[in-house]
Structure 1
């Protein structure tokens, strides 16, 4: 679990609620059904038009990475790859065949299977890099969904504020309604700007960071598998892959 992300999200809520209380507006001023409909539902509506269904579903699926990113075990992977290189040197590449079924990661499993099948190193690299580029493109497209939501939300907040001011203008003859109407108008602006800058945009950037880490990890896997295919010394493989830890 990413404690920093969890704390950050909690602090964002505390900042909003606490700021509203300290400024004298109160907690109740943060709730507006009209602002919620215009800004939040409007942002979802815009992103559904903006995004292909497959990309949107993937974005929902990887949203959990903000708090629970995929495990990053590069040191363990390096040791595993070094062990495979030792097996390959002693028993040949076919000695790795029993290990293929043990792999849970489809990318790692595919690469190890290609080693067992005796493919040329450059063929292994080419095929795995295609898979890597495809997965990275898919993940980044999903992360950009939240980035786009961060762009639409503030604009819809302004629209909500304009609607509120229109309602105020219609009630100029009744001064008792003016204060409440103006406050409600600005609530929509808060929804738009706060949701974008405290949630959507930070989520998008965090996901991009996680995706970059996953890409780097898989680049390490590719280099390790190629080194095994080329029959490099296990010590040299370990030294080479150690560079990916920094």
Structure 2
């Protein structure tokens, strides 16, 4: 569970509600027609802009913004080094048995390509092609939420215009102008809140998750090709650490020193 996403939404809503309560009644901020205009219009525009299947897939992908089950890059490097040691001692064919303990399908596929004696250039092309399609699928999900973040304020303005039109029809009743204006502006409030607290932040979180996954798969590709080339496991380790930020490298080094000391 990614607690940061939940905390961000809850805290954001909390501060908005506190601001509302400080100057008025929260019940007055609830307006069903405004909600229907913003939510209905945003959803409808999204279905117009994207195929239904893509939208439904994006709704499933949104769970990644609330969960954090992705494997640490350091653990991936550790697995690749273990595979490199096996290949160095027992040969590439021994990797077939070792791959049975590999849970990641992408890594397992790469290992089996190596075991089958596939040309290194073809291995790289196959894995990088799959990597490109993964990235493209991620971009589709991100794009849908970015689009919803753009549509919501726009339909908020549509609702405001509808409210203003209705208000202008009642100009002969001065007492209705204030309440009517308030209702008209509530629609813009809903659109801005949904866009800036829900849709756009989720799109950015999905971008971050995508970059993390692509980085892990790039580490796998480089590691597998290095194993196939017969490089020394220590050299492979140093090469793969180059993908990591300095602080993460230091943490990984400390872990390995601890393991070495215990061993």
Q: TM-score, normalised by structure 1?
A: 0.95
- Quote the RMSD (CA, aligned, Å): 1.3
Structure 2 counterparts to residues 118-197 of structure 1, below 5 A: 118-197=117-196
Structure 2 counterparts to residues 1-246 of structure 1, below 5 A: 1-22=1-22, 24-246=23-245
**Hey, what's the Cα distance between the residues in 1 that align with 2:91 and 2:13?**
57
Q: Unmatched 5+ residue regions in structure 2?
A: 246-263
**CA deviation after TM superposition for structure 1 residue 70, in Å:** 4.0
**Hey, what's the Cα distance between the residues in 2 that align with 1:13 and 1:165?**
27
**CA deviation after TM superposition for structure 1 residue 148, in Å:** 0.4
Which portions of structure 1, spanning 4 or more consecutive aligned residues, are displaced by more than 3 angstroms? Answer: none
* Secondary structure of residue in 1 paired with 2:243: helix
Instruction: Note the alpha carbon deviations across 1:145-174, whole angstroms, 9 max, x for none.
Output: 000001111110001011111111222223
**Hey, what's the Cα distance between the residues in 2 that align with 1:43 and 1:69?**
28
| Change over 3 Å in CA distance of 1:105–1:30 after alignment to 2 | farther
Q: Unmatched 5+ residue regions in structure 1?
A: none
Q: After alignment, is 96-105 or 232-241 more displaced?
A: 96-105
* Secondary structure of residue in 2 paired with 1:90: helix
**Hey, what's the Cα distance between the residues in 2 that align with 1:45 and 1:104?**
39
**Hey, what's the Cα distance between the residues in 2 that align with 1:56 and 1:102?**
35
**CA deviation after TM superposition for structure 1 residue 218, in Å:** 0.5
Instruction: Note the alpha carbon deviations across 1:14-33, whole angstroms, 9 max, x for none.
Output: 122111112x1321122111
**Hey, what's the Cα distance between the residues in 2 that align with 1:70 and 1:140?**
20
Give the length in aligned residue pairs.
Answer: 245
**CA deviation after TM superposition for structure 1 residue 85, in Å:** 0.5
Q: TM-score, normalised by structure 2?
A: 0.89
Instruction: Note the alpha carbon deviations across 1:208-228, whole angstroms, 9 max, x for none.
Output: 111011111100000000000
